[in-house]
Amino acid sequence: MQVGSFIVEQLSEGFFEIFKDGTIQKIGPAALENQHIESDFQRNTIAVGIDPLFISGYEMNIIVDPGLGWGLDYKSRFKDTSNVKTNLDIFDVRPEDIDFVILTHLHFDHTAGCTFVSDEIKTTPTFPNARYLVHKKEWEHAIAHIDQSSGLYGDGYRLDELYKLAAEGRFRFIDRENFFPVRGLELIHTGGHSPGHMVLRIHDHGNTAWYTGDLIPSENHLNQTALPITDTDPLQAKKMKTEILKRAYNEKAVIFFYHSLFKKAGKLSLNKEENFVLYDL
């Protein structure tokens, strides 16, 4: 999809079931339509899509939240899996071509694809020439909470591999509320979901798009003002969600979601009850 001068594509890794203990299992699209499994999801697990974003423009290539990265590792048992690398192949882009990796936050379901274990059993950056961008508050929070998973879906931090990237100086820790990594791209610190959570606004030649990370993870969360179960600061999440949705609506912007099952992107309209609905592009 074109947003001004940018090409913006979602790189779907597929559908996954996340269990309460953080285990992740792949599921087929057919299972999503199966009512029996649907009710299991409600009781024991949640079903999510995983859709990293690829942005290209002004001679820059950017990945936002590189996903689970299943199948990247040496001896991985997930061989026939879509991951950020196999998905980039579709667009003739190599991991070496990526200039920036933007991390909205550091939960493992958004960051595992940052690295893989090579044939020499060495932690290796998936994007060897990229600068990895993360908010300073997120890094500090993750380090302080690495062994304290609350047992909630997908909220864990697994930093072992990311420490190596940090040690190699590949991270840029953002300490501002608004940061412009590339002309036309703005990172906005929202907090809410996690203390250092950021969202991305793409604005170029009068066209706007938003990528809302886990602040608004899917189309089903448009009218839920906060997610008390998964937000570390529900009040802040509510404030930022309200503000961002209002802006996106006024801007007639496209919103891209990371965890949607069905509608992965769209523009906003309001129904009779003043609720946001997503309409297809």
For 9, the token pair is: 């594509």
Spatial separation of the C-alpha atoms in residues 102 and 34, rounded to whole Å:
35
Question: If binding is defined by CB under 5 A, does position 264 make contact with Zn ion?
Answer: no
Closer residue to Zn ion, CB minimum distance, 57 or 154? 154
Spatial separation of the C-alpha atoms in residues 76 and 253, rounded to whole Å:
39
Residue 207 Cα to chain centre, angstroms:
21
Question: CB of 129: closest distance to Zn ion in angstroms?
Answer: 27
Question: If binding is defined by CB under 5 A, does position 141 make contact with Zn ion?
Answer: no
Question: If binding is defined by CB under 5 A, does position 189 make contact with Zn ion?
Answer: no
Distance between terminal CA atoms of the chain? Answer: 10
Spatial separation of the C-alpha atoms in residues 115 and 120, rounded to whole Å:
14
Question: If binding is defined by CB under 5 A, does position 214 make contact with Zn ion?
Answer: yes
What one-character-per-residue DSSP string does 131-143 give? EEEEEHHHHHHHH
Q: How many residues touch Zn ion (CB under 5 A)?
A: 2
Question: CB of 183: closest distance to Zn ion in angstroms?
Answer: 28
Sign, CA torsion 66/240/18/150:
positive
Closer residue to Zn ion, CB minimum distance, 107 or 203? 107
Of 28-36, 206-214, 221-229, 243-251, which part binds Zn ion (CB under 5 A)? 206-214
Question: CB of 214: closest distance to Zn ion in angstroms?
Answer: 4
Question: If binding is defined by CB under 5 A, does position 107 make contact with Zn ion?
Answer: yes
Of 74-82, 99-107, 235-243, 273-281, which part binds Zn ion (CB under 5 A)? 99-107
Which amino acid, 51?
D
By CB under 5 A, name the binding residues for Zn ion: 107, 214
